[in-house]
Amino acid sequence: MNQARNFLAGVDDPTAHQLRLLLTLAEELHFGRAASRLHLTQPALSQQIRSLEERLGVELFHRTSRRVELTAAGQAVLPAARNVVDAAEYLRNIVRGMASGPERLRLGVCESFAALPPTRGVIATLTDLDPVAGPEVRVLDRLSDQLSALQSGEIDAAFTHLPVPEYLDSEPLSTEPRMVCIASDDPLADRSSVRLADLADHRVISLVPPTFRAGHDFWAANPRPDGTPVRFAAHQGSSFQSVLSTISLGGVIAFVPAVAASFYPRPDLRYLHVEDLTECAFGVAWNPDNPIQSKITALRAAVSSYRARNSDEDRSKTPLRLGVA
């Protein structure tokens, strides 16, 4: 113990910037893709990671000519790294808010889901409630980006499919079926519907971070009704489009909200109804620890107002049925 304490006493603390690079590389497991996301050159990213490893005194990644993998030490430090990065972002946002005064409600939404009626309805309601300082909407690429932005305080709320992690509060706005996305040349592709048992031999590719276990399992339908665990693909998609492209090559599937069939029609894919798969909900989520509670109050008022205006159609309870090509 004394030896470890003496060693750590001589180690420079890693910077939040270095830990942010670590988290991005841990997501991509590819120096080129991670460097592109971070707007760095690959050598610069590699140098920063080696510097971080030297500061910590451990190897964080196994590197070969073909792949990059987290070591056991790398896996162990990820939660703490995420906490440090989130804390730094949270501090930055608090200071920014104090310097600029009251901010507008900042909403995040993923990709095409900005076109969904509940998203547009709540945003319109917020604008009607305060025409001068309406909400600020930010488009984020992935669920993991939304979760990070919520935790760090970069955004106040996010429109997303549920479930969300337990540290967030949420309100459902609509429900819809979950469907299976499958390659057009798959033997099942000509069927109008399938059951989960028909998909037992297909590996599932996921976009949901495995660290968010409830969401990861929900969107993989894991375990199956008979208790059988799901077989996962060897890697995750870095974006929804990359998931779809991987599926089109065959051998893997993904369970997606029915709206995806309308937003992402492709000749190399088929979207099939799954007879024994429960529906999913689309809603809005927020961090209950938001330091400006008036923003959350305004959001909840807008959600209630939106629901009241749409009570005749009961959109918060009736499944959102969209045509499937």
pLDDT in tens, 112-129: 788 899 999 999 988 887
7 falls in which pLDDT band (50, 70, 90)?
very low
Q: What single letter denotes the amino acid at residue 164?
A: V
Question: 3-class SS at 104?
Answer: coil
Instruction: Report the predicted TM-score, pTM, of the whole model to 2 decimal places.
Output: 0.66
Residues 164-222: tens digit of each pLDDT: 999 899 999 999 999 999 999 999 999 999 999 999 999 999 876 676 889 999 999 99
pLDDT, residue 221, reads 95
pLDDT at 275 over 80: yes
Per-residue pLDDT at 9? 45
CATH fold, domain 175-279, is: D-Maltodextrin-Binding Protein; domain 2 (3.40.190)
Residue 6 has what pLDDT? 42
DSSP, collapsed to helix, strand or coil, labels residue 149 as helix
Highest mean pLDDT among 58-67, 159-168, 307-316: 159-168
Class in CATH terms, 89-173+281-312: alpha beta
Alpha helices in the chain (DSSP H): 2-9, 16-28, 31-38, 42-56, 72-100, 117-129, 143-152, 213-220, 240-248, 259-263, 293-309
* Span 116-145, average pLDDT: 84
Q: What are phi and psi of 137, to 5 degrees?
A: -105, 130
Q: Backbone dihedral region of 195: left (phi > 0), alpha (psi from -120 to 50 degrees) or beta? A: beta
Q: What is the dihedral of CA 186, 27, 210, 275, to 10 degrees?
A: -30
The confidence score (pLDDT) of residue 92 equals 67
Tokens of 102: 């009251």
Is the pLDDT assigned to residue 301 strictly greater than 60? yes
| pLDDT value for 316 | 42
Q: What is the CATH number of domain 16-85?
A: 1.10.10.10
Under the banding of pLDDT at 50, 70 and 90, the label for residue 143 is: confident
pLDDT of the residue at 223: 92
pLDDT of residue 40: 85
Question: How confident is the model over 86-100, as a mean pLDDT?
Answer: 62
Q: What is the pLDDT of residues 21-48, one digit of tens each?
A: 999 999 889 998 888 888 888 888 999 9
| Confidence (pLDDT) at 140 | 86
pLDDT in tens, 46-80: 999 999 999 898 999 999 877 899 999 999 999 88
Ordered by start, the domain boundaries in the chain are 16-85, 89-173+281-312, 175-279
- Domain 89-173+281-312 and domain 175-279 have a common topology: yes
pLDDT of 324 > 60? The answer is: no
The pLDDT tens digits of the residues spanning 236-269 come to: 777 888 899 999 999 899 999 999 999 999 999 9
